[in-house]
Structure 1
Amino acid sequence: MTDLTGAVPAHLPPRLTISLWDFSWYTRAEPGGPFADLDRAFAETVERGYNAVRICAAPLLLFGELSHDGRPLASLARDLSIEGLGVAPGGGFYGQGTRWYDVPGDYSLDVGARLLELFEAASRHGVVVILASWEYQQSPAFARSSAWFEAIHAVPEASRYELLAASWNRMLEHLTTAGHRDTIAMVELHNEVDFSLLPDFAGVTVTRAGSPEPASGSHALSGIQAVERLRAAHPDLLVTASWGKPPHLAMHQLPDGLGAAQFHVYSYGVLDALQQRLDIRSEGSEGFPNAALRELLRPDAPSPAEYGRADAWKFEATVVTDQMIYGYDQLDADRWDTWLYENYGPYRAVMEREIESRTIAIAEWARWKGVPAIIGEGWIGYTPLHGTFEEGPIGRSLAELGIRTALEHGVWGVVLCSNAAPHHPMWADVAWQRRLTAEILAHP
């Protein structure tokens, strides 16, 4: 079965090969950084066979019509100072051993002007753009000022989906006026609504008896109502939201009304086993780092007290913990990878089955609903910046399994790997990316 799960607009590519640019297109635009020159970044993207990028377009920052201390948030966006997680003791910066948080900062940019520059460059290079927001998950943490974070989090939870819908509506009108509507491949109300500081997407809770009831604040728009409002206002666009871990065993629990199936497929398996062993994703653990983690640290690693931590508000604004930042910054990546390789065997079958079954579940749900499907992120999980397990032969084989399963079941667009983007070391593996994007684009 190779026919798509649902129809896509005729002006968009018949298959999408997606590179996950996320918020890094503005947080890694420092001089010499991977996105300092957008034309170069797009040229490299096309060279590798991609025809789509997925970004955080920061709709709340640019079009939320919010203010902080009497200053419009949009005016902050015109001169947004990027800091990352801040300078670390002894040189360097917090997050330098992580993916996505390895932001040296120390520059400012006009986010709105840069968004238009991105669309202009995308159009020149024949690339379409998937629009999303990471703002209730992590984007504001990279700013020097807490104003962006404080402004959007001052909005009551029950009103956040309504704010997102209104902000997106204004952004879409702005992009349309600028002549970029046909470059929009999809609009996501928010990235990973299940792992963000947002209320229940469907606007219901489940009682102890198992029956649904309205969530508190249900007078405001639920997530699905916000999607439906945007779809009604922009019927020519694909509008949806994304889940980090959709209910693969019970996809019927997802609400009706999504314009596309944009879900993520991660199979942590052996990575989860290591993270639990090290207690690296928790916070406030007594005796951290434990003995298992100390075995994987560099010999010269400072103690957590010596290393310190980023400002507290930055951890409130994001999904990572200070223990993960410390651990990833101080790890010996070779020791980390060695443990994963030595212990992968017992997890191989279940990781392969998870990737296959979850991808199929997403595709079949999309076919049932008659909407196009995208795997916007995958396949193993959040690894250290200098770890190579996911980029290596095991990680690539799992990615290829997911990609081919997606193609066989009619998925429209797929990432090669969440790490296959200009701000990750995997970008250097040009041959593998070219081979897989060619396979996707050649699929019937």
Structure 2
Amino acid sequence: MTNRYLGSGSADCNDSSLTGPLPSHLPPRLAITLWDFSWYTQAGPGQPYEDLDAVTADAASLGYNAIRICAAPLLLFGGVGLDGLAADLEIEGLGASPHGGFFGQRTRWYDAPGGYRIDLYARLLGLFEAAERHGMVVILASWEYQQSTAFAASSTWFEAIDGVPLAHRYGALAAAWDRLIVWLTALGHREGIAMVELHNEVDYSILPALANGGVAAVALLRAKHPDLLFTASFGKPPHLAMHALPDGLSAAQCHVYSYGVLDELQKILAIRSDRSPGFPNAPLRSLLRADAPTPEEYGRAASWKFEATVVTDQMIYGYDWIDPVAWDAWLFTEYPAYERVMLREIESRTIAIAAWARWKTIPAVVGEGWIGYTPLLGSFEESRVGHRLAEHGIETALRHGVWGVVLCSNAAAHHPMWRQREWQRQLTARVTGFVPH
């Protein structure tokens, strides 16, 4: 028998150590729960985030040690005349439908009934105080050029930030973040900041390419606050050409979604499109609830709210009136044909992000994942199928040195997945207790 030399490339490579160094005060791994803007848009009486201390304690009891939020920096510290509004913000959600109920009532994230006012300065301080009490850190981001402003009762917030010229928006964000960080520092909460994202999903927001002003904004913040991590997140990073991402970030925060079978269903239904002729089409009508009104009967949120967000009225109508049992049945029936490619996409995309971060010697984070946007009462991601895809992503991330990871974008207090207590505890323990080999 002849021993054949296969070259050093055939040897296993241990990539489980962190892709880049961390500030010394931060946990060695982050198990992240994604509270986005919902921590203030679903904070009214009886809503998931009414009691910040209680929900933070609950998250800690499930093993999470990091919370990722929209901190609304432009509203709080943007210098665009919104200070008074930030201290007395009326939350409406997408508004009441003339058919009854409210728009977005059976969506994820948009299911905000509103009906209360909030002091966002006091609320942000309260979150940091609760996080400190319960041993958690906070990832700060902004969704303001993507959707946050649509939940306000008034268009004032949206109009103020929309009035900032496109070329100046990253600069405005950097200035607002600087003032917010100084404010938190003065209040004793600097070490509670895990990372600052200039903006969430810059590739899916009303912003220029990051290279056009965003990199300079990150550089400015890094120079002013060299002890903190600054980055911007990408909804769909160029996994096949990660070298195309700009230099200058101090962390790689990328999202990993493999829509697969979900993407196929969405295309068939045209449910996330805009102004589709003949909407709802026959396939969508076949999956609607028996009591579904027509789009005309249901009505439409105020036009400015759709200017302020990336979703369409077709998605709001479709997700509000889809029959979740029929929706899930279609996905479960068709999923076997997509399983291999979805598992492979999750793995390859996660590895690509980690490899790029290791090349740049910066920590990597998967702040959102793994399948995609489903109706509130759909159970596909909460099922064993969804669990398997999520677990595959988490294990891949840990094996390749990713610092922080969500269990699933839906694993938060405003989603049904929050009730899957034991599954979350098992996975957070795996993340925070992971030891590189």
TM-score over 0.5 (shorter chain): yes
Partners of 1:317 and 1:112 lie apart in 2 by 22
The residue number in structure 2 matching 1:69 is none
Within 5 Å, give how 1:121-132 maps onto structure 2.
Answer: 121-132=130-141
Equivalent residue in structure 2 for 1:325, among 316, 326, 329 = 316
| Deviation at residue 287 of structure 1 after TM alignment | 0.6
Equivalent residue in structure 2 for 1:138, among 135, 147, 150 = 147
The residue number in structure 2 matching 1:392 is 383
The residue number in structure 2 matching 1:181 is 190
Instruction: Kindly indicate whether residue 325 of structure 2 is the aligned counterpart of residue 311 of structure 1.
Output: no
Equivalent residue in structure 2 for 1:99, among 80, 103, 108 = 108
1:5 alignment partner, SS class: coil
The residue number in structure 2 matching 1:421 is 412
Structure 2: tracts of 5 or more residues without a match: 1-13
The residue number in structure 2 matching 1:341 is 332
Within 5 Å, give how 1:31-430 maps onto structure 2.
Answer: 31-66=45-80, 72-203=81-212, 222-430=213-421
2:140 alignment partner, SS class: strand
Deviations 1:353-406 (A, max 9, x none): 100000000000000000000000000000000000011011110000000000
Structure 1: tracts of 5 or more residues without a match: 67-71, 204-221
2:278 alignment partner, SS class: coil
| Deviation at residue 121 of structure 1 after TM alignment | 0.7
The residue number in structure 2 matching 1:219 is none
| Deviation at residue 30 of structure 1 after TM alignment | 0.8
**Aligned partner of 2:308: which letter?**
A
**Aligned partner of 2:201: which letter?**
E
**Aligned partner of 2:109: which letter?**
W
| Deviation at residue 200 of structure 1 after TM alignment | 1.3
2:74 alignment partner, SS class: helix
Greater than 4 Å deviation, 4+ residue runs: none
Partners of 2:30 and 2:275 lie apart in 1 by 42
Query: RMSD in angstroms over aligned alpha carbons?
Result: 0.6
| Deviation at residue 91 of structure 1 after TM alignment | 2.4
Identical aligned residues as a percent: 68
Equivalent residue in structure 2 for 1:30, among 44, 49, 63 = 44
- The two structures have a TM-score, normalised by structure 2, of 0.96
Equivalent residue in structure 2 for 1:10, among 6, 18, 24 = 24
2:367 alignment partner, SS class: strand
Partners of 2:301 and 2:419 lie apart in 1 by 30
Deviations 1:46-77 (A, max 9, x none): 111000000000000000010xxxxx211111
Deviations 1:418-443 (A, max 9, x none): 00000000000000000001111121
| Deviation at residue 89 of structure 1 after TM alignment | 2.4
Moved more, 295-304 or 83-92: 83-92
| Deviation at residue 284 of structure 1 after TM alignment | 1.0
Partners of 1:440 and 1:170 lie apart in 2 by 33
**Aligned partner of 2:58: which letter?**
E
Q: Tell me how many residue pairs correspond in the alignment.
A: 421
Partners of 1:185 and 1:79 lie apart in 2 by 27
| Deviation at residue 122 of structure 1 after TM alignment | 0.6
Deviations 1:223-277 (A, max 9, x none): 0110011011100000000000000000000011000000000000000000000
Partners of 1:156 and 1:143 lie apart in 2 by 22
| Deviation at residue 179 of structure 1 after TM alignment | 0.3
**Aligned partner of 2:430: which letter?**
E
Partners of 2:398 and 2:88 lie apart in 1 by 43
Partners of 2:99 and 2:299 within 8 A in 1: no
Moved more, 377-386 or 86-95: 86-95
**Aligned partner of 1:300: which letter?**
D
1:202 alignment partner, SS class: helix
1:42 alignment partner, SS class: helix
Partners of 2:210 and 2:65 lie apart in 1 by 30
